[in-house]
Structure 1
Amino acid sequence: MVEPVGNSLVLVGMPGAGKSTVGLLLAKELVKAFVDTDILIQTREGKTLQDIVHDHGFQHLREREEEVLLECQYLNHVIATGGSVVYSERGMNHLKRSGRVVFLDVPLEELERRVQNFSSRGIACPPGQSLADVFEERRALYQRYADIVVDCGRKNQDQVVSEIIYSEGEQFADVDA
């Protein structure tokens, strides 16, 4: 088990789970900086995630993702990760040192409603896999690394944010003022 040295919140979950949206709201509420690792990858590569997958394959995207994760030193942030982050044990152990990992668990039916652009979204998965295939493959990995699991079914963004902040009876806010 990896003990955190930081006070970050690391959001993991499927594409369409709301990691970036919830992450921004959490950062605002907790007065923390916000980082989206997908944006870090895109900035580093000078391409969208979909272009990276198209030009170099899904495995290349996963490799770039791990490199970016291992370079991250965010100890008091809200970190939204890409959906494939859980394929990198080294990357996840590094993130777990930054703080607590929160799995935004969204039911497959809701993800199918939200993700209309699966084939063009830049998802790091082998050709031919469906959203349901990816969901089945990744869900156990998200649960494995999660310190907190938030059931996001039938909850709006504000409810998810509140549940994360007050999960397990402990407030994450580090407000001294």
Structure 2
Amino acid sequence: MKNIILVGMPSAGKSTIGIILAKVLGYQFLDSDLLIQEQEKELLKDIIDKRGIDGFLAIENQINSEIDAVNTVIATGGSVIYGKEAMEHLRENGIIVYIKLSLQTITERLGNMKQRGVVLRTGQDLKMLYDERCPLYEKYAHITVSGEQLNTEELMEKIIEEIDLYKEE
């Protein structure tokens, strides 16, 4: 069975859902942000501070394009969709599930973007980032699942349902 790759905005619930999804499916779980921190021996926000956004995105692209996993739920960082090589690699090796949420929900959940290591360019606000990323998530996703008004359990069940439908096509 292929991997399941979760993409979406920061605070969409990729890591939280990913862990539960992996347990339910009997898969491994991998958080690509943690892989980055492990390789670089620094927090995401510190990598961004020291190397700049482009430096961070290059590291993220490299690490995600080298993930070698099977039967694994992979939670990616929100900015993974800027890495063409990473997205092509992930798309070839799994089913990409975009967890879609409204800008309002993301804003309510996000909290301190700097602490979270959110990749924001100078002069860019959350709405601009949202408008820039959403079309990219949709472009690469095999499946788009709306997480609006759903608790963790409901979202997980919806993702499993959509994956099962996708596999039948």
Q: Which TM-score tier does this pair reach, normalised by the shorter chain? A: over 0.9
What secondary structure sits across from 1:66 in the alignment?
helix
What secondary structure sits across from 1:57 in the alignment?
helix
State the match for 2:116 in structure 1: 121
Report runs of 4+ in structure 1 exceeding 6 Å deviation.
none
Instruction: State how far apart, in whole Å, the 2-side matches of 1:12 and 1:125 are.
Output: 17
Structure 2: 5+ residue runs without aligned partners?
A: none
Residues 69-116 of structure 1: per-residue CA shift (max 9 Å, x gap): 121111210000000111111110100111100000011101100011
Instruction: State how far apart, in whole Å, the 1-side matches of 2:120 and 2:55 are.
Output: 11
Match 2:84 to one of 75, 85, 89: 89
Deviation at 1:14, TM superposition (A): 0.3
**Matched length:** 167
What secondary structure sits across from 1:83 in the alignment?
coil
Instruction: State how far apart, in whole Å, the 1-side matches of 2:132 and 2:166 are.
Output: 32
Contact 2:61–2:84 under 8 Å retained in 1: no
State the match for 1:175 in structure 2: none
Question: Sequence identity, in percent?
Answer: 37
Which structure shows the higher helix fraction? Answer: 2
Structure 1: 5+ residue runs without aligned partners?
A: 1-5, 173-177
State the match for 1:141 in structure 2: 136
Residues 129-155 of structure 1: per-residue CA shift (max 9 Å, x gap): 111111010000000001110011111
Match 2:67 to one of 48, 64, 72: 72
Tell me which amino acid in the other structure corresponds to 1:80.
A
Tell me which amino acid in the other structure corresponds to 2:38.
T
Provide the aligned C-alpha RMSD in A. 1.4
What secondary structure sits across from 1:78 in the alignment?
strand
State the match for 1:3 in structure 2: none
State the match for 1:23 in structure 2: 18
Residues 35-89 of structure 1: per-residue CA shift (max 9 Å, x gap): 0000000010011000011111111111000110121111210000000111111
Instruction: State how far apart, in whole Å, the 2-side matches of 1:145 and 1:122 are.
Output: 22
Contact 2:143–2:166 under 8 Å retained in 1: no
Instruction: State how far apart, in whole Å, the 1-side matches of 2:18 and 2:124 are.
Output: 27
Contact 1:58–1:123 under 8 Å retained in 2: no
Q: TM-score, normalised by structure 1?
A: 0.90
